[in-house]
Structure 1
Amino acid sequence: MNKTAILFLSVVVIFFSCSKKKEDSSRHSTGKINAISIVIDNQLWNGVVGDSIRNKFASPVEGLPKEEPIFDINQYPANVMEGFVTKSRVIIVVKKGAENRFSVQKNQYATPQNVFHITGKSVSALLELIEKNTPDIIQRIRKGELAAHQELLKDSLVISKTIQKQFQLDLKVPKSYSFSIKNNNFVWLKREFASGSSSILVTQFPISNVNLEANVLNQIVKIQDSIGAEYIKGQDSSSNMYVDVSYPLYLLKTTLNDKLTYVTKGTWRLKDSFMFGPFISYLIVDSKKSKITYLVGFCYVPSKDKRDFMHELESVLKEVRIN
């Protein structure tokens, strides 16, 4: 074969490879929220490598009263890495190979998509790579799944003019929510459905109400309990919402809108009642305006798993924009 023919074939191969890659990445990814596809041979999946993956990616979600996995895992052997599997929004490919390597490829087969490749020379190498990279993988997946949930909701979201005017912040709330309580410094938005309800609370108060140098978590519990005592009650007026500290509480210090923010997850309960469920709160410190914005999302769905309801609330609250 002459050089011209070889060059022509090379160009054709490159052209079709690029076209195939472009075609793949233009496909829209699919999959339920918080579901991931694990592509791994059955032998590895049924051994210690599979145990490690399950322990890490199906570990309990923080802040729920009953254990639910962070992600729903779907396992596929390597020989089915085609078709619907490649359209998954999150794919983790684990295999033995000639080198130890971890890489992340964005939109490899569809968009949006994260494909994580973990290759190890041996089982021990795979375990080491999984251990080392799991925090980064989970962080990337969580970020992507929140974005996916926001995209799923986008057609139903509207900026609440009431909240915008009252609190000088933009909060896009699903149209299915309506005001349960609305006064000068507090609003309660609620969505009722057949199996329960989801709620969003918004309030503001002076920054002097919180001592950021002291135990912030204890102060957040007191703030939440005071809101419950005043506004969130059962059929009996003496039955109010409070934070059930017999369940674990989780506190994360972060930034939102470039402002110091404390995120708390835990369990609420209605006094003298069987009603309880998870909540997530955002205490956002605005030093320039000397005020604190406090947002809460909570749900009551006694007959269902609560992870995805709370994930929806988190995806809404995290998009708040303080003006």
Structure 2
Amino acid sequence: MKIKFTLLLLVFVTLVSCDDKEKKKYLPESIGAINSLAVVMDNQLWEGEVGDKVREHFAAPVLGLSWEEPLFTINHMPTKVFSGTIINTRSVLYVSKDTLNLAHIKSDLYARPQKVGVIKGATEEEIMKNLDAKSDEIIHAFKSVEIQEAQKRFLKSLNKENVLEKKFGISLSIPSIYKVGKEEDNFVWIDRQIQKGTMNIIAYSVPGNQFKSDSSLVKDIVRMRDSIGKLYIPGPDVPGKTTYMMTEKAFAPYVFPAEIGGRKAAEVKGIWEINGYPMAGPFLTYIVNDKKNDRKIVIEGFTFAPATEKRDFMFELEAILRTLRFTDDKS
């Protein structure tokens, strides 16, 4: 009897496991434009204080852009409309009045990959409290799945040039539309043309002890960027002037801790400008510790696109920079 029972249990477990795999297998592919967010909540909530709180968090201005652009392009819909293929949207925020008081994140609920932030409360006050408490975590989850989607799209056609590996022992997954434009002893510039300008990636290294004091970190980063700009990134020819890229003088860049390529790094967001000429735009820099080689690798993306929204351009550059790998990490 024990043997029969054991066999029956094994068959049952196998069937359940196969059923779970089949469910996962048949989840449709998620849909939606990069950085689009479906906000599912009834009109009464959307038009009141709860809707204001959602917009406060999820339509907040992106840091480091030339003008205000929201974190996500929000598509609001009432709960009764959230059906059909629209439930396969990649990033979904579901907000409702409910007897339950909760805030959590679900993965791959209707499609794959997908993140669904769920906020519920018995009162509007409870809902807003949960939004305040959980929004940062939900935004991080949405951003991660959007980065993943952006990378999946450009991985289909990659630049085959290996200049970064030869120069610095690093690799980036860069779309084939980008081309190497400048190569110096300790500097590489890769760019692509867009309708009204360019998207750019640069890479260089600095000594491991480049930044010695936390108190002067921001000033030291600005000094580093400006020196590189003066050496390698000239502006337009202007008689009697030396034009080059520098960090915008009026506002200090934002600096955050980060991890890139499995190593500790600093993330820097700010505005670049051209010394001696009216040009400017956003930049994103990662300064990555490489203790093994007693250096720091600096990779940066910046965009020149006058009179054009730049959020999605900078998001693509971030997705590229986050593919950084060190070749000496390969087994």
Give TM-score, length-normalised by structure 1.
Answer: 0.90
**What does residue 154 of structure 2 align with?**
153
Is 2:168 aligned against 1:167? yes
Pair 1:307 & 2:311 matched: yes
Question: By how many angstroms is 1:97 displaced?
Answer: 1.0
Could you say which residue in structure 2 is the equivalent of 1:318? 322
Q: 1:52 to 1:213 in 2, by over 3 A?
A: closer
**Does structure 1 conserve the Cα–Cα contact (< 8 Å) formed by 2:41 and 2:79?**
yes
Distance 2:180 2:261 in 1: 25
Match of 1:243 among 233, 242, 247: 247
Is 1:29 aligned to 2:30, yes or no?
A: yes
Corresponding residue number in structure 1 for 2:288:
284
For residue 274 of structure 1, give the secondary structure of its aligned residue in structure 2. strand
**Structure-1 separation of matches of 2:196 and 2:168:** 31
Equivalent residue runs for 1:134-145 within 5 Å = 134-145=135-146
- Measured on the aligned residues, the alpha-carbon RMSD in Å equals 1.9
1:159–1:172 CA contact under 8 A, matched in 2: no
- 1:36-185 aligned at under 5 Å gives the runs 36-158=37-159, 160-185=161-186
Give the Cα–Cα distance (whole angstroms) in 1 for the partners of residues 96 and 155 of structure 2. 37
SS at match of 1:218: helix
Distance 2:98 2:210 in 1: 58
CA drift of 1:52 comes to 0.3
Q: CA deviation at 1:59?
A: 0.6
Amino acid in structure 1 at the alignment position of 2:303: C
What CA deviation, in whole Å up to 9, does each residue of 1:2-41 have, x standing for no partner? xxxxxxxxxxxxx9xx79x938962111101111001100
SS state at 1:174 partner = coil
Aligned with 1:98: secondary structure? coil
Deviation at 1:98, TM superposition (A): 1.4
Q: Which runs of 5+ in 2 are unaligned?
A: 1-15
Percent of pairs identical after alignment?
Answer: 31
Residues 122/186 of structure 1: CA separation in 2 closer, same or farther (3 Å cut): same
Task: Please give the per-residue CA displacement for 1:204-253, whole angstroms capped at 9, x wherever unaligned.
Answer: 12213332555222111111101111111122271111100313521011
Query: Which has the higher mean CA deviation after the structures are superposed, 236-245 or 216-225?
Result: 236-245
In 2, Cα distance between equivalents of 1:33 and 1:243:
28
Q: Which residue of 2 aligns with 1:7?
A: none
Tell which deviates more after alignment, 221-230 or 246-255. 246-255
Alignment of 1:256-275 (within 5 A): 256-275=260-279
Alpha-carbon distance between aligned partners in 2 of 1:24 and 1:78, rounded to the nearest angstrom: 27
Q: Aligned-pair distance for 1:159?
A: 5.2
TM-score, length of structure 2 as denominator length: 0.88
Indicate how the Cα distance of structure 1 residues 222 and 272 shifts in structure 2: closer, same or farther if over 3 A, else same. same
Counterpart residue type for residue 221 of structure 2: I
**Offset from partner CA, 1:75-115 (integer Å, 9 cap, x none):** 00010120132011011111111111223221111111011
Task: For residue 155 of structure 1, give the secondary structure of its aligned residue in structure 2.
Answer: coil
Moved more, 238-247 or 32-41: 238-247
Letter in 2 for 1:227: I
Find the residue that maps to 2:277 and give its secondary structure. Answer: coil
Q: What is the CA–CA distance in structure 1 between the aligned matches of 2:217 and 2:312, rounded to whole Å? A: 27
